[in-house]
Each structure stands twice: as structure tokens, then as C-alpha cells.
Chain A
């Protein structure tokens, strides 16, 4: 469902599911995502992490009528993103009644060497 969001389409993000049924996002490199020459823009990496967090929550069967709202996000940039395809996956740390804590990471060629990690608090819509 995240890949149907106009903003996800603007970035060229699409969804995939791993062998365990966990949702992940993939984002091919494109000149429109570049920051300083030869590197993926930091804001784009942050946005991909954020979309991964929202996708993980949507995978929990979150109510569709009202969207969950981001409260805040913390992004650590570990290394420069190259102009190659990027991937992101998130894990729900705690699914509270009102607040969800989510961890996400983003990698390129090697899943064990992430280029960025993120943490998010998300407010669940009432009655979810």
C-alpha cells in the first residue's frame, strides 16, 4: 500500500516481501535522488527509512481509514549512499495501543553493512 502513495512513486519506491513475510522497500537510483555529485541525497535516505516504518506498520493490518501519524524520527547516517539501488526494512519494536516504536535500516549492496538506520515513534489512529 505504501507504493501506491504519490510520494513513494515520486521517489520510485516499490514494495517486496521476504521469505518470512516481512515487507521491505526498494528504491532504484535516479539522477532526481542525487545530492552531492555521485551520492544519494541524505533526505531521500531518511524518507525511505520513514516509508519503511510506515510500511511495517501497514503490514500489521493497521486500520486503513485514518493513517497513522509520525510523531518523530531519528536518522543516523552511517556511510554515503552510492547511486545504486537502495533497500529498507523496518521492525516494530513495540506495538502499543496509541504509540508504535519502529526501528528501520537501509542498505545497498550488502544487507549486513547498512548505510543508515532510523527510529520512529508513530501515533496510531484512535480505535486502531
Chain B
């Protein structure tokens, strides 16, 4: 039975494309949320000298976690596209730290899903970023 569940299928899929490049992996999930993580790489730096981490991997991790949260909630395997994504960078991520993104899908309509996401680099009480993203189900009605 479990193999039929779309979210279990998502979790068991080998990473490919950009998820594989960043090393994004599944951490935990609930009825309407999913937590994904991404280990630090020196290739994420914006400036090799200063150790400043680019916020690019944060954007990609949020996109991935938000998509997973929608499947965790809907338990449906539906093609979708990100409509918009807004990220507040609360502070710079520290080098050498694994990024964790926990996204919640708080509302799903027939065509649109709304998500929020919080990102931390090891201390959930001291987040790196807050985000809001909406998605559109692309299949024809």
C-alpha cells in the first residue's frame, strides 16, 4: 500500500537534476508539511575569501520543500509550477552548516496551493529565512 502513496513515492525517488547537484534530501514530514535539507558545499559560496554563503541554494531548497509539502498534504501526483516565491533573508547562513527548510502547505484550491517555509542552518530558533510561495496545478481540468 505504501508504495502507492505519492508522497512515499516522492521520498523514495533518487535525487536528479538540480536536487542532485545541491544534495537535497528528505528529513521528515507530516500531514501538511515537509522538511528537506541540503548539506553545505564550498561551491555555495558567493565569495571564496569572505566565506559568504550565496542565498541561491536557499531559494532552491525552499522551492523543493514547498513542492514536497504540497504533495504531503494533497497525496496527489499532479504536475505543478511555482507561481511566485518571496524570501526574507533574516540573516546570512553560516558556512559549513547544513540548511534545513520546513515548508507547510496551508491551503489548497483546485488550481492553486499556498505554502510558507522557514529555513535554518542548524538552530530552528534562529532562522535564516522566511518564505511564502504559491504554486499552480498545470494539468488541464
Q: Which of B43, B47, B50, B59 contacts A9 (CB 8 A)?
A: B43
- In contact, B84 and A74 (Cβ under 8 angstroms): yes
- Closest residue of chain B to A54 (Cβ to Cβ) is B46
B17, B21, B81: which has the most chain A beta carbons within 10 Å?
Answer: B17
Question: Using Cβ atoms and an 8 Å threshold, which residues of chain A touch B47?
Answer: 5, 67
Q: How many angstroms from the CA of A73 to the CA of B87 in the assembled complex?
A: 5
- In contact, A72 and B88 (Cβ under 8 angstroms): yes
Tell me whether A114 is interfacial, beta carbon within 8 Å: no
Given contacts A43-B63, A73-B59, A75-B86, 10 further A-B contacts (CB under 8 A): A7-B57, A10-B41, A10-B43, A32-B20, A33-B18, A70-B55, A74-B84, A77-B81, A77-B82, A80-B81
B interface, CB within 8 angstroms of A = 16-21, 41-48, 50, 52, 54-57, 59-64, 79, 81-89, 92
A interface, CB within 8 angstroms of B = 5-7, 9-11, 31-36, 41-44, 46-47, 50-51, 54, 66-67, 69-77, 80
